[in-house]
Structure 1
Amino acid sequence: MAAEDRFKKPVVEMLAKRAGNRCSNPDCRAFTSGPADDTERAVNVGEAAHIYGANPGSARYDVSMESVDRGAITNGIWLCGNCHKVIDDDPNRYPAGLLFEWQKSHASWVSEQVGKTGAVVRRRYEERHLEEFGKLSYLAERIISEKGDGWEYHLTAEVLRYEMTPVLRRWSALKKGFYMKPPLPVGLREFPDWLSVRMNEAQGIVSAFEGLISGEFERAWGDPGVPGNDRDIVETCRLFGEMCASALLWEEQVRFVSVQDEWQQVAELLRGAAGAIIEEAFKLPEFIEETVNDPVATGTYKLTLVLQLPDQWSENLEAAMAIARDSIIAGIQSGDIDW
């Protein structure tokens, strides 16, 4: 286990305090500290448990998480030693989502027990505030509620991963030929119009990509020293995810199309053009997490995402179009093609 994966002492102490030194399992809630025989000492049976495991092979380990995130308070829950062992011995019965629910429910319960009306009201506000976002990952919800250091960037990376991972997996499956859809027949005369629509769609996807990358994220994060807007961040991430979903739909359209032999080479050249956007887009959350989690990160960091077609792609497309047109004209003249 890397040092960053472990909970540091301040995190452990804060988890215990926020849990009221009670186990966060709602069916347990045992006291986790009490008097020892020595009047100058206390007994502690509580443990800071990782929701997503700290190292490969551990319960609920998520390979996509950065080490610093595994050791962050947002990935922790306070439990007694017995409950800690139970959840780690049976991770299928105790998935990460359930533990996040335990933590959230326990925080509300503790607030009520200590009689802090303000804390209770704040918890209700947080619950209502989270309702405004719709479906989010548990980790994203906790980042929004906790709003620790660099929360704007951690939230961006988490929501991007949540929105984009299904698209990336689907794109990977499409490239490997793991699923099929009924092919859409496009006739000999209809193909040029079909191609024009696809090219306009591709340009729209690229424009959306450039607009979101070049300005919208920075706007949502806010000026230096000014808190960002969580709703703007989530909305921008979702737009970025929708852009990736549009790229995937484009790829499906050009792969699951049935064209005449004359246009086959043109259709084949389109494959992969939008998929490259998905692969470039997924570099963004990785870059954000690596930068924010760098303990010596200072100054300005720049990520360059390149939307680049294969070498001589435009020339090859023009050549394929010319060959197709010549073949069609020859077929019309010979009477083999009824135009």
Structure 2
Amino acid sequence: MILADSFLQSPLARESEFSTNNNDKPLIVQFAAKTPDDFSSAAEMVAPYCDGVDLNCGCPQRWAMKDGYGADLLKKPELVRDLVHQVRNRISRPFTISVKIRLLKDIKKTINLCKTLEKAGVSFLTIHARTPEMRNEPIDLESLKTVYSCVQVPVIANGDVKNLKNAKDLYEQSNCQGIMAARGILTNPALFSGSPVTPLTCIQNWLDITSRIPTQFLQFHHHLVFMLEKLLSKKKRQVFNTLQDKESVLRFLEENYGVRPGVPIECIDPVQCKFINLHISKVKQKYIYELEADTVLSEIFQE
């Protein structure tokens, strides 16, 4: 979930938040946004390098809700409609615009929101089958099925997908067109292969990728913290989670698992993204136009 306003304003945010390669297809970039201009401008910036954008209306974290992002947008269906509509007006198909939502307590409001997004031009919806207030409670499968039966666009089901069996069960029970895993896939990137925990090949791949593509330590370490969650003992996990630099992490992994960065694989050659901030360009164009107009007026008055 990339903050659209930061992505627009900061080259550092763009560098740290987004990278891709030629084999990274299909690719959808998820943004948190609360103004149509931020969302559409950020979408235009990444459009040359991806197949679609997704609007996060499901994140229940306190900071996101407080700042008007994520699940807070569920209270503002007209705004969500405008966010989707403006991107669709500025970027044509087959570029996709999707929205991830959570259920509202009033199921009719959830259905109305989904139908509103259909009319605005949304390509598909992802539904986390919990309300923003719910955390570890079982998902509300019946409400998910009710919403799905009321819309025409494809729906992806989300919630409680921690292994391949969970994914298959949710797919069959929900009748949705696809399944999304969030924390489950962070903890085990090989989830959909059927592996019960992260295999060492995944950790090896991550070391190879990050030796080829410059990666901030926070991101490099954060993903490994997730991947090693089920592999490390509590004591070793406490040690690993508090490591402060890449050298310490690499030493830990070599000593405990015998893995270290190898020869980077060819398919991870990064695309050199040249972002064009159309939003800023338009502001500059307006400024230049006004400056030129002032110059012309000045010359007229001088004459």
Report if TM-score (shorter chain) is over 0.5: no
Which structure: larger Rg? Answer: 1
TM-score of the aligned structures, taking structure 2 as reference length: 0.25
Query: Which protein has the bigger helix share?
Result: 1
Query: Which protein has the bigger strand share?
Result: 2
TM-score of the aligned structures, taking structure 1 as reference length: 0.23
